[in-house]
């Protein structure tokens, strides 16, 4: 039985590898990549269970016993702050008979207690209590919670379900440097939204990687966002480059990192100015929060854009930071979690108004959701065939699709070798 399963999985994996090897570069992916349950399962295995994922912020779990939960494919995960103040992720799976342990999306516990038969775990995963009837041979030390690789940088939490995760420390060191002015350990999530889109996760990311659609769909966002990605954007005008240079001088004076840096195609960071005179992604470009984040003095920090594939993009401004987390749920279903982050001492109704804070990206998310869902519906048609990306407007999409295909193939081949 086991052998049959392995062969089946092997050949499905092989089919996807073939599909990606034969794809036409610079074109959207073959239909199955966007809608088939087999490719979805393979994406979960080869990308989401092997790469580093952005999963939340350390300020969401400020005290020992605070936790957040999420699912990576079929894998329930809990991320916990322990008594030493370390942040550690675990498989949220009881070592008795496998029940999920921490149930809410977030919470605070003294110990982690399984709801089924009350096996009880220390915040560092050690099994403390398993009733009195497990027999003479039973040794609690043999049944700790299974750890998941966890790293934090600048207040961001990343996990990897891989046995041996890929290298990421160079990016994390830079991320910490770019986030230092924000002091995110002393920030808080003012509000968050969770939307479920009827679209494959790759369509959600593709949509985010270009602004070709912005003029047609994002009036609120375009009040403040300049659609160039960075100064290396092939469309960047001289006037735009001069605008960036002026802002860069101000940012340098305050020690605010802004240069464009990238780590392969997986990670990039750059601080881009917003439209002239606009300091935040609000409807009129005025600040959303009276208190700036961290040590920030100059409100006009534009937006620090952070890309982390496969699952996050971000906009860090002077007064608030917005993080986006993509969680694939099914072949044509994707959760997008958006968090608006402000200084921890900012007071709702005094320093910020939640409606003002969230309005632009609520509107933008709803518009992007409609675009991704219509994209999915068209892709499901018998008439769909991969179409050409614009090398200028859609270079970010080309980069994402290249990263996805190359990473998938490399990871799949690694796995098949190790399965052998």
- What radius of gyration, in Å, describes the C-alpha atoms of the chain? 22
CA distance 147 to 79: 10
Residues numbered 108-127 forming contacts with Fe ion, rule: CB under 5 A? none
C-beta of residue 159 within 8 angstroms of C-beta of residue 77: yes
Query: Taking Cα atoms as reference points, which of 180, 214, 188 lies closest to residue 66?
Result: 188
List of E strands, 281-330: 303-308, 312-316, 321-330
Task: Figure out which of the listed residues 47, 55, 61, 94 binds ligand FES, where binding follows CB under 6 A.
Answer: 94
Nearest to ligand 3BY by Cβ — which residue? 211
Minimum distance from residue 221 beta carbon to Fe ion (Å):
7
- Residue 96 binds: one of ligand 3BY, ligand FES, Fe ion, none (C-beta under 5 to 8 A by kind): ligand FES
Per-residue binder mask for Fe ion (CB under 5 A), 361-400, x = binder? -------x--------------------------------
**Binding of residue 193 to ligand FES (CB under 6 A):** no
Residue 32 or 214: the one with the smaller Cβ distance to ligand 3BY is 214
- Report the alpha-carbon distance of residue 339 to residue 344 in Å, rounded: 14
Does 112 bind ligand FES (CB under 6 A)? Our answer is no
CB of 313 to Fe ion, least distance (A): 10
140 contributes a contact to ligand FES by CB under 6 A: no
Q: Rule CB under 6 A: is residue 119 a binding residue for ligand FES?
A: yes
**N-term to C-term CA, the chain:** 17
Q: Among residues 118 and 380, whose Cβ is nearest to ligand FES?
A: 118
- Shortest reach from residue 92's CB to ligand FES, in Å: 11
Region label for 18, one of left (φ > 0), alpha (ψ between -120 and 50) or beta (otherwise) = alpha
Q: Please give the Cα distance from 188 to 237 (Å, whole number).
A: 37
| Closer by beta carbon to Fe ion, 247 or else 339 | 339
Q: What angle do CA 398, 210, 18 make, to 5 degrees?
A: 25
CA distance 235 to 227: 10
Residue 94 binds: one of ligand 3BY, ligand FES, Fe ion, none (C-beta under 5 to 8 A by kind): ligand FES
Stretch that binds ligand 3BY, among 73-81, 161-169, 206-214, 404-412 (CB under 6 A): 206-214
Of 29, 93, 211, 342, the one binding ligand 3BY (CB under 6 A) is 211
Tell me if 36 contacts ligand 3BY by CB under 6 A: no
Q: Answer positive or negative: Cα dihedral of 56, 44, 69, 192.
A: positive
Q: Which long-range contacts (CB under 8 A, 24 or more apart) does 240-249 make?
A: 243/273, 243/276, 244/272, 244/273, 247/273, 247/300, 247/302
- The structure tokens listed for 183 are 């002091």
Size of the site for ligand 3BY (CB under 6 A): 5
The answer to the question of residue 208 lying near ligand 3BY (CB under 6 A) is yes
Tokens representing 195 are: 């939307």
Among 6, 7, 116, 170, which residue interacts with ligand FES (rule: CB under 6 A)? 116
Q: Which residues bind ligand FES (CB under 6 A)?
A: 94, 96-99, 114, 116-119
Q: Which residues bind Fe ion (CB under 5 A)?
A: 368
């Amino acid at each position: 039985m086991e052998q049959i399963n392995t062969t089946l999985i092997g050949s499905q994996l092989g089919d996807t590898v073939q599909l990606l090897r034969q794809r036409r570069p610079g074109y959207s992916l073959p239909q199955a990549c966007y809608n088939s349950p087999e490719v979805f399962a393979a994406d979960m295995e080869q990308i989401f269970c092997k790469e580093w994922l952005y999963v939340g912020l350390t300020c969401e779990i400020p005290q020992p016993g605070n936790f957040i939960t999420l699912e990576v494919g079929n894998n329930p995960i809990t991320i916990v702050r322990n008594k030493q103040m370390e942040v550690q992720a675990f498989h949220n799976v009881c070592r008795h008979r496998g029940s999920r342990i921490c149930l809410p999306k977030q919470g605070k516990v003294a110990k982690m207690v399984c709801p089924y038969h009350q096996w009880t775990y220390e915040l560092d995963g050690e099994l403390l209590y398993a009733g009195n009837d497990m027999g003479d041979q039973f040794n609690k030390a043999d049944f700790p919670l299974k750890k998941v690789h966890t790293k934090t940088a600048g207040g961001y939490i990343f996990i990897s379900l891989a046995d041996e995760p890929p290298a990421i420390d160079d990016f994390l060191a830079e991320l910490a440097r770019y986030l230092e002015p924000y002091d995110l350990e002393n920030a808080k999530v003012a509000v968050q939204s969770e939307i479920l889109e009827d679209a494959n996760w790759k369509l959600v990311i593709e949509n985010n990687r270009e602004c070709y659609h912005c003029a047609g769909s994002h009036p609120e966002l375009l009040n403040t966002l300049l659609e160039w990605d960075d100064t290396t954007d092939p469309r960047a005008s001289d006037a735009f480059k001069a605008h960036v240079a002026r802002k860069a001088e101000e940012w340098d004076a305050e020690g605010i990192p802004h240069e464009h840096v990238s780590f392969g195609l997986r990670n990039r960071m750059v601080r881009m100015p917003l439209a002239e005179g606009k300091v935040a992604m609000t409807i009129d470009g005025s600040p959303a929060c009276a208190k700036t984040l961290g040590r920030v003095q100059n409100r006009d920090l534009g937006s620090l854009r952070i890309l982390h594939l496969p699952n996050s993009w971000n906009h860090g401004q002077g007064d608030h930071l917005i993080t986006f987390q993509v969680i694939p749920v099914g072949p044509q279903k994707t959760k997008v979690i958006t968090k608006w982050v402000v200084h921890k001492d900012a007071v709702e109704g005094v320093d910020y108004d939640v409606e003002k804070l969230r309005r632009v990206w609520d509107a933008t998310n709803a518009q992007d959701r409609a675009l991704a869902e219509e994209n999915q519906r068209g892709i499901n048609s018998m008439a769909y065939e991969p179409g050409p990306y614009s090398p200028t407007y859609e270079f970010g999409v080309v980069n994402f699709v290249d990263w996805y295909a190359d990473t998938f193939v490399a990871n799949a081949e690694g796995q098949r070798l190790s399965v052998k």
